[in-house]
Structure 1
Amino acid sequence: MTILKPKKTLQQQLSAIKLPQLPQVLLQLVDICRSPEVDIRLIAQTVSQDIALTTKILQLANSAFIGARSQFRNIDHAVIFLGVNTVRNLAISVSVHEIFDKNGPSAQFDNEEFWYHCLFTALISKTIAEKAGYDDPGAAYLTGLLHDTGKYLLARHFGESYQTLINKQNDIDDLVNEEKKAFNISHCDVGKWLLDSWNMSEEFGNAVRDHHNRDTPDSETNILSRIIRLANTLTTKVSTYDEQTIKDASILCISPASLQTIVEEQTTILEDLAQTLGIPIKEPEREELSAGQEKNQQRLYKKIESRAKLYGFMESIIQAQTINRVYLALEESLSFLFDCDKAVLLLQEQTAGNLAIQGSFRNKIARTLKEKKYTIPPESSYLDDTAKSQRLLGEKNNIILSSEAKTTLFEPLFQAFQSDSLLGVPIRISPDQQGLMLLCLATGDDTMQDQEEILQLLSLHVGNRLYQETLKEEYAIAFAKERIAAVEEVARSIAFEISNPLRIIQNYILLLATKDGQNQTMSQELSIINRELARVTSISKQLGDLSTSPGSKQTSLTNINEAIGDSVHLFQKSIATESTIDIDFVPAANIPALWLEINPFKQILGNLITNSIDALGKSGTIEVHCHFVPAQESSAKAELVVTVSDNGPGVPPSIANTIFRAGKTTKEDGHAGLGLAIVNKLTKDISGRIYHSTGKEGNTLFTFHFPVTTQPSSYEQLMT
């Protein structure tokens, strides 16, 4: 029989189809539920107008399907405990079969298979909605129940012609196109029109309309539409999943590997629900898969399995507490999913813009290249120096780095990876910061290229996680500036208030030092106190501006062992009566007199010793060590390296990477957490560096490198 294409428009076709009407009670109920302020008593009164409907709702509300903790004896209790939307959904559920059964389609249309599919889709939709965190699983159930009502109406309107069309379709996804070819209308269009005529939510109608649509680059699919589309696929293809199914499950945050479990669980409930509603159902016969379909299914099952594993790794990346844990989670995922144990990140530095190697502490390749200080200048980031046709950054798709490229820029990479080709997966951290995930790609190995979507998902999560760290860093810097600005205001006031008492104390010490009868020890003690008071006076002058670097730098010829010894001696005297803390300093041998900025040096040393004292409490040991590194042994500048260690509780891992930020402290009693932040600032001001570590015996070590010279500057020579 040949099916002729009608010339009628979609609107003409819709208007020609007779739509079933909801009972007046249900129409009133739908209208009441759409009101922003719903009166629960009015809902109960409306439903109770129809005794048969009330009885069915209570029967369903007390069934295992709802799983209520107590039995409902009247509709008022049901409305209060179940909620307005659930009662509305139940009312339509128990009535819809009766509404359609009054004037059914042709005898060839299998009602029992039809309702089997509708009820099954409703149950699975509700379960998916719950797992996906959708705010109204009952709405998903109702939409799933009504999603194929358009088929029922088309079968009733076109009769045998429509049934013939259905019988010819081996693939349910082709049905919509064939419906439009034959009748210029699809069951999806009719279903939406029906729900609109019942004054149902627009979201319900859109989900019914879109439940066979495939995603396109320009389409936007809402959550309910994805839920219904996924549920519909699972009920029609219980053992076969396609790419769209996997994508919908991924977007709804449901592991594709759990889909079969969802189907099996709802199958056990389906029969009981149908009996409760009084709807006869029959499971459709399933066709055997062809050899080609079976092969395709095996490929998709492997993809589902890898996706299931991927979820765990993506969760690890999102939940990682530190950047190092982000790198480690990424490397573990690459090793597990692709058996790839050679990978690094090539990320833009925020300051210079160079491309620098990043990786976890376990990453041998990253460590090797970092030790060599390997970076790629931004202006040289081309794959080929001669062609300059493809940049490392800014590409949307994966790129291949080959040793055949006419540039020596990447030779250290190929040597470290011991490979002639590398796969680069773009990572976007922010509009101003990008990078690449570099993987070892063996010759002829296209496995990772086939898994491009998984690699891009990993890179997306890593990029988002790194961007979060960037925002945290920017916030911390802004917060630190605000705190230091507030401290500055207080510091200016303090500096002004203490300047006069300091001068008076210094004058009295000078008088004491000049009195007769002073022994040598007392004179030395007074001399140390006087020098420290002079340093306090100098510091008080700097308190006016903690946030900017000092102007002129004045160095002086200093005996390092003597300077450190004086500071240690003062601390030993000051804590002698309060605790049993030992502060040990063994003078270093063979350190010449050095030219350095003595005030910031003593301030850094004093703050670090104070920090150790606070960490120890009443007892413990502090050790101070130093050694001199001549210029030819490390860099263009000579350095004095000083380490302050203590056997206190140590630095918690949670703040180990941020210990030098303002506001970060492990101390109580109102500590502002500015001590180490000031130390860090002072160190940077004199072009030094500072870091903390843990010793072999568990001691906490703070080490600072202080730039020094063995010769005076031209300014000091002029002054002397």
Structure 2
Amino acid sequence: MQQIPDEILDAIESIHLPYMPQTLLRFLQVVDNDNASVNELATLVRQNPSLCARLLTIANSAAMRHGKEITSIEQCLITLGTRLVRTLAACLAIQSVFDRTAGDATYDYTGFWMHSLRVAEIARAFAEKINFPGSDEAYLAGLLHDIGQLMLLGGVGESYGALLVCSSDEDALLAIEGPVLGTDHAVVGAWLVDRWELTSFVADAILFHHNSAAEIAYADRLSQILWSAHVVSGIHNISTLTSEEQPPEMAAAESLLGLDLAEIAAVSVQSEEDVAVLAAAFGITPTDDPRTHPYSSITFENPVSGRSGDEAQAELESAVRDMSLLQSLQHNLFGHADEAEMLIAARESARILFGLQKVGFLSIDPDQRFLVAPDIAGQPPLLKRLEIRLEPPTSLAAVTTLGDHPSSTFDEHPPGDVSLVDIQVVRAMSSEGVLYVPMHGRKGPIGIMICGLSTLQYKRISNRITWMTSFAHISAVSIEACRELGYREQNLTRSLTDRFEKNARKIIHEAGNPLSIIKNYLKIVSQKQPADSGISQELEILREEIDRVVNIVQSLSRTDITAPSQERVDVNAVIEGMLALYGEAFFSDRHIVLEKKLAPALSLVSGERDGLKQLLLNLLKNASEALSDQDTLTISTNDKIRYKDGLYVEIQVADSGPGLPHEVMQRLFQPLETSRPGHSGLGLAIVGELVERMGGHITCNSNGAGTTFTILLPLAEMVDPA
């Protein structure tokens, strides 16, 4: 395979891609709508090769993919999440505007865009016709088959633009790319997809799409589909061709796919119609220019330098422009849930805006003594192990953090000495050098952004360092605001907790007195009963329940709640006691049939006696309220049930009622928001929490004809040291 020269590789690593403004604008509008579905966003991404390549690259990065390859657009959007996609979309728009206002040459991408979509549509149709299992994979390969052209244009710039200008078509472009650049757009496109580490031949298909018919005959099926789609897309008036008039490549496509000319022509015509409809929807007017690659159109003058010769005025106008462009970015950054999410969004934004690949962060620790790496996904592992002392500022990193201006290891006269710890940062970033950009909020410094760069990359971004400083400031302000909001929430929580504790102590005091009186009275009544009276046992159960209520009430005032100690509990005895206390009120008086099927000599479990009572009470009460006259409730136990990691006692509470409502099953063991008076769904939430706390498992089966709760509690012998 042809290798990419180092200078070209260095230039394209930033994946600086131009975008069709119409499709990017539509994507911005849709992604900003909270009601937009993933399918709507995915449809738009599929219509923009640059956007598709950029989002798939981010989603397949080590920080995002979490060991799982991402090939579908829907999966990509779900992985990134709406907030991050919205932030990235804003960055892509800002990047496009910045390039335009910075005086960069503009290009017409209409032919490129329509050609990419046509090849994608034809490839998908071919895949479906020949029953290839990956039609979406074929579409993706078609959409990105010429993405290398945009990468070279974004990375190499004017020198590649010169090749585009003197190329009449894609074949002519390919013929001069190799001799001039030492590589071509097919190799570069394949290199990009290879970085995603997919178990797919998408990269090979892109690499081979300009090979000869004789060579492609020995390639994989996806490569043959893409090659054929590319050939067919370049044949005009295909529907009027006869077998004798068709070019040799067309005959090769027929042979590869096993399709006849009429079938291929129908696919080609349909793709033209589909792309024309899309172009009209986006307000894109097809041009008469037959070129399918970008070509230079207009060069916009720099509105800053052209408007005024006064350098100070030019800087002021530049700052105003940057602030207006970055305002939406600040809004999107602050929309992320926490500081870690903000930093990840800032890193991905910097990669897009400034063409960076290696970006990291160091934050000032709470004691204001050290720079340390925040714990976010994608940070270089060695960076996380560094602690850089701030005072005295003996490193370039510390000097930059406390100062106002960026600095780099490439500077001839940096504001501070490049120390050994700076060299460690360079090594941690796996780069030739680093650029430090101070992150200052409104109240002072919070850290630095680190950009790992080569010498060539540093030269390329040197004219954007001022803008990078503005970006770092906006990121710092957003993080600072997030922290302040967190402090306010903590203070509010502390205030509410103090107020709650005071009220709880009053309630405990007032409730404790009558409960103590009732408990003492029950003791007196019990002493008056004959020794063999069954009433004494029932009164003892009542006294235990009063003790349990007292414990529950007292726990309201404890903010430092610790898990209760585990006991050896006789499940059958607890069930018998609960039924003796509540069986008549819950079931007999309501004419509900109660059945017990308790296994004899049941093993003891490790748990909380009061906790087991509480969860059983909730289940019995819920069943009582849900069942009607002559319905049945069965409570049963089984011993030594093997489940995954050991042996358990099983408790089943099954009823013949109507089953649980849909909203309960949707959020089982979570509190419900419901309009039913007196019902909040807290009972089941408490049951789930108690079972989990005792190291058990709980499941529920409810299909409209009864409900069964199955609880597994670990045997005491599994937990005890003995």
TM-score (norm 2): 0.35
Q: Which has the higher contact order (CA 8 A, sep 6+)?
A: 2
Larger Rg: 1
TM-score (norm 1): 0.35
